[in-house]
Structure 1
Amino acid sequence: MTSPRFNFVIDCSDVALAEYLRLDAESAVKVYTRGDLNWCLQTYHILLKRSKLPIQLSNRMLPGAINIIHSDQLLQQRGDSSAFIVCVRADYPGRRWAHYHLVQNKNQLGHNVSFLPHWVQPGLIKRDAARNSVKRVAYAGEAFNGNLAGTTDTWKSLLEPHQIEFVTLAGGSWHDLSTIDILVGIRSFDKQPFNTKPPTKLFGAWHANIPFIGGHDSAFKQVGTPGEDYLLAATPDEAIAAILKLRDNPALYAKLVQNGQRKAALYTEETIAQAWVEALTGPVMQRYRQWQSKPLLEQARFAALLGMGNLEHEAKQIIKKLVGKKMNPALWSVATFVKKSLFF
């Protein structure tokens, strides 16, 4: 039985695909700007360099291959029963008709699902070793999309009395942490676990030799230890107290950096590439062989779950529109029940 190729699928024209294929790993860093490029194009380039897997990059799913595609693109392309589909879920819903899922949070694990950590920020520039005080606190990411608790102005006003600057690093500069003394990654001022979110920001802090203050994200707790390699905060007061503690306690600052360096060694391009290889050649390949062995059953499964998936998506769009309007309590309860019942 011949081994299939691993086909990484991205959303682009044939002309753009040819350009992506010509990029080397270094220059490709500049184009990792959206989900499928981060998860599929970046993985293709890294595995091309760090593995001997038979891999290819394309803009469509192919029969006879193990097709690895981001959830958003899978929703658009749908696929057919001749294609074996591995859905990279990322921050998006799972797609029931996919044959396997790859997730970024261990709380998303289940049947035919593997956890794979996202890649560390490409081209990361570490904190300047000459910096010896806490003067600049940053959030590296988009601050407008609900991933940062509070507003940039709120953070600035909280830190200004302590002569500490707060900045949000703009897209394109997230990799340059040379002038940052503390990184924050608090999505909300409460204890929500955010079970679909990755631990990527914590990885970045560890690799940049910068202490990290995070919220109660389950992903952070899955890979780190609060108080040892990062600090927890669930309120604005706790966040400011943690920042001031790091400013006033050099020993604690050094402890978090040193422990973070040890943890960073577990999450490198090399180790994450190896995790990809093990997942693709292990459970993903096992599921592919199972799919090959029962073609009629798998065709029926695909047709049924694709239809169900389309209905789910359409229902979700309707619910979103309803949520955007005023709803009476009874209708809200029905919409909430439907959403919880349908989506996984």
Structure 2
Amino acid sequence: MLSKVNFVIADRKAFLKQNPEVDDINKAELFINSEMAWIYQTYLHLYDFSASYSNKPKVGFINIIHANDYVNLKNKSKYYCVTVLADKKVYFPSESNIVQNADMLYNKKYTYLYHWPQKNIKKRDVTKTFSNRLRVAFFGEKENSIDLSFFNNNKIEVIQKKNWIDYSDVDCVIAIRDFKRTFPEKPSTKLVNSWLGDCLFISANDSAYQQIGFPGFDYIKCTSLSDVKENLQFYSDNREQSELIRANSRLKLEFYNEKSVKACWVRFLVEEHYKFGVWGERPRYYKIKSVFLGLVRYNFLRLKRRLFMIMNRY
């Protein structure tokens, strides 16, 4: 069905396997960066659809490639590429592009697809949590979070998480980098993973969470440190309300799960087959022009980044 689809991971020893193993789909530790999470993991999920896998794009195929690899690809006009932009602010767009946040939709050549849910998440264990204090945590690199120690008190306990798939001893996940910015290139994975872990989720103004969630229904949106603290106190004191948020979150998992993401990918790639056929009939100059326009966009984004860095807004 997808025999003309080829997944590309550049020839790096840390990534490439000459003979990918289907069992790798259950190894959460493999998907630690966006190349593996987007390219290799998607290939494994679509293994039964006869897609191929290589370390270089193939002529005559729909090549799914990461933005890091596409920018360095030579003779771009020879290949039909679908570039996964991931969280790149600066990228070289191709004939088709996948974004993980709807705010990155630039024109009709961009498609918004959900990220795969984290594998093997250990759900919240009620025997370990919510005894005397609400246990809160951040999953990710410490420098990407506000200081959670501010919330420690006799009703709230902040715990450090080194295992990013273990939610068993957590009541509430806090995912706040900044209270004002929307982070238009970031995905909604932390929210979905929190739902999978059966935990409360507190965030700020991230657009990705607002695209799939509803504040006050399946997650909690805060505007300041004091607002976070007030909400933590409220949900610590009102366990029935905490359970209601969790119950609503479980309902959302009917739409945000591996099966639904797989269906989105299959539908997307079926549509790409038609676009690929049209592209194949285009004259050579059209393909060269398309790559040139991509170069213009790439250099514009590089210049924009440089200006923002000078203005301390990057």
Match in the other structure for 2:195: 206
Alignment of 1:102-251 (within 5 A): 102-109=98-105, 110-130=107-127, 131-133=129-131, 134-144=133-143, 147-148=144-145, 150-151=146-147, 155-156=148-149, 158-170=150-162, 173-190=163-180, 192-251=181-240
Match in the other structure for 2:293: 305
Alignment of 1:67-86 (within 5 A): 67-86=63-82
Deviation at 1:240, TM superposition (A): 0.9
Greater displacement, 265-274 / 102-111: 102-111
Deviation at 1:203, TM superposition (A): 0.4
C-alpha change, 1:112 and 1:124, in structure 2 (3 Å) is same
C-alpha change, 1:309 and 1:45, in structure 2 (3 Å) is same
C-alpha change, 1:27 and 1:198, in structure 2 (3 Å) is closer
C-alpha change, 1:136 and 1:11, in structure 2 (3 Å) is farther
Alignment of 1:40-55 (within 5 A): 40-48=39-47, 52-55=48-51
Taking the aligned partners of 1:212 and 1:305, their CA distance within structure 2 comes to 41
8 Å contact kept, 2:174–2:201: yes
Taking the aligned partners of 2:84 and 2:154, their CA distance within structure 1 comes to 43
Q: Report sequence identity in percent.
A: 26
Deviation at 1:221, TM superposition (A): 1.3
Alignment counterpart, residue 100 of structure 1, candidates 96, 101, 106 = 96
**Matched length:** 311
CA RMSD of aligned residues (A): 2.6
Taking the aligned partners of 2:90 and 2:289, their CA distance within structure 1 comes to 16
8 Å contact kept, 1:97–1:302: no
C-alpha change, 1:27 and 1:10, in structure 2 (3 Å) is same
SS in 2 for 1:76: coil
C-alpha change, 1:210 and 1:308, in structure 2 (3 Å) is same
8 Å contact kept, 1:194–1:218: yes
Using structure 2 for the length normalisation, give the TM-score. Answer: 0.89
8 Å contact kept, 1:102–1:116: yes
Deviation at 1:71, TM superposition (A): 1.2
Deviation at 1:310, TM superposition (A): 5.9
C-alpha change, 1:39 and 1:26, in structure 2 (3 Å) is closer
Match in the other structure for 2:254: 265
Taking the aligned partners of 2:298 and 2:212, their CA distance within structure 1 comes to 35
Using structure 1 for the length normalisation, give the TM-score. Answer: 0.82
Q: Which has the higher helix share?
A: 1
Taking the aligned partners of 1:135 and 1:125, their CA distance within structure 2 comes to 18
Match in the other structure for 2:275: 287
Match in the other structure for 1:66: 62
SS in 1 for 2:115: coil
Taking the aligned partners of 1:306 and 1:108, their CA distance within structure 2 comes to 15
8 Å contact kept, 1:14–1:59: no
Taking the aligned partners of 1:303 and 1:225, their CA distance within structure 2 comes to 39
SS in 1 for 2:77: coil
In structure 1, what residue type is equivalent to 2:21?
R
C-alpha change, 1:79 and 1:121, in structure 2 (3 Å) is farther
SS in 2 for 1:202: helix
In structure 1, what residue type is equivalent to 2:292?
A
Match in the other structure for 1:326: none
Taking the aligned partners of 2:160 and 2:14, their CA distance within structure 1 comes to 35
Match in the other structure for 1:7: 6
Taking the aligned partners of 1:274 and 1:3, their CA distance within structure 2 comes to 13
**Structure 1 alignment gaps of length 5 or more:** 324-331, 340-344
8 Å contact kept, 1:126–1:209: yes
